[in-house]
Amino acid sequence: MESANFPLFTIILMTLNIQKIRADFPILNREVKPGVQLVYLDSTATSQKPLAVIDAMDSYYRNSNANIHRGVHTLAEEATKLYEDAREKIAKFINAPSARQIIYTRNTTESINLIAYTWARANLKAGDLVILTEMEHHSNLVPWHILQAERGIELEFIPVTDNGLLDLDVYKTLLSRSPRLVSFTHMSNVLGTINPAREMIVMAHAVGAITILDAAQSIPHLKVDVQNLGADFVAFSAHKMCGPTGIGALYGRLELLEAMPPFLGGGDMIKEVKLRSFRTNSLPYKFEAGTPAIAEAIGFGAAVDYLNSIGMDNIAEHEHEITEYALERLEEIPGLKLFGPSADKKGGVAAFTLEGIHPHDVAQILDKDGIAVRAGHHCAQPLHEKFGIPATSRASFYLYSTKNEVDMLIQGIYKVKELFA
């Protein structure tokens, strides 16, 4: 799905039955107030959940609820199998060589913090260069600010151009300074920009840098193959890909994970504990201390099954069609300014401002018609500062989004403009 630079959307592989897909998501039938149907355009913040995921978690609690790994009774063995089967599904979904390389975390944020507190603190020292970008989510900024204050590492940033792309010429210049680490988002949660991850990773490896890919926004929407991309670490969350909140995953190269110190101490992450010493467990359990989010892991696996049943290429193609339509319609509105690149270089995100109207007012007025969009800095304050704005309104799309919902968004924005005329 991804070329050396950007995804190519040229062939419709399968016409999705969107109404059938929408029927899988019970919340989409909700009236947010009497006679006002929900129009959910906030999937970048969190996706809705299909019945398959809800039922899988419900079934675990009804039929197999037990703690995992340590019990030998029937329920414990069932729960352990469900939990580990989900890990296998996730590994296959991103084409990881082994399920041992999939570490369960709470979310993308925790995955990146895990790297910062283990690999980075074991390997980075004062003066070492870490390259980030100006479009990063706070979860890929703050951990490195903390490490900079603690260790004196140096941070540099790949600039974002006016049309929402990364300036790769500057990136090349920064790479000439021999960075130890390059960490960047695969897809911007504000601009929708899909960065040329494979190209950037190859360039980083050429100068000996370790790479982290924040794939929170890409894995739900595109086919992501970690072996093809070559990233050393990849972080993502279940709740953005039809799964439950409270669980995510970190993929890492086996030799890096094995060399890293543990993140949290406690039960299950150990092989042996004595009063004055301990030995860590093998992967992936070395990084999974305490009773985990068992039901959520099972839901995560069910979400992967659901996405596979539809096909990631089909999802990407559908979203591209919706995004292209949405951008065309939004560009018709006087006083509306869009942020980010053209539809062929981005995912299903449309961030915008309306002249003279605060984004929060836009979102609140749209909500009166049941239209759910996001307003604010979207945990990307530096990016908004780059464009000289405090906030944007953001509509985002997923496999269940329709052109009719886009039309309702457009009608709603015109209503906003009328109120402030």
Beta strands 129-133; 102-105: pairing state: unpaired
Integer Cα distance of 314 and 308 in angstroms:
10
Annotated active-site residue in 256, 379, 389, 410: 379
Report phi then psi at 104, rounded to 5.
Answer: -70, 130
* 242 noted as active-site residue: no
Token duo for residue 324: 């292209």
Token duo for residue 55: 């039922």
Q: How many angstroms from the chain centroid is the CA of residue 113? A: 15
Token duo for residue 254: 């086996």
**CA of 115: how far to CAs of 119, 140, 234, 253, 282, in Å?**
5, 11, 10, 12, 17
Beta-ladder partners of 33: 36
Integer Cα distance of 50 and 164 in angstroms:
33
3-state SS assignment for residue 187: strand
Q: How many angstroms from the chain centroid is the CA of residue 156? A: 23
Token duo for residue 297: 């892991």
Report phi then psi at 35, rounded to 5.
Answer: 80, 0
Distance in Å from the first CA to the final CA of the chain: 44
**Residues labelled catalytic:** 379
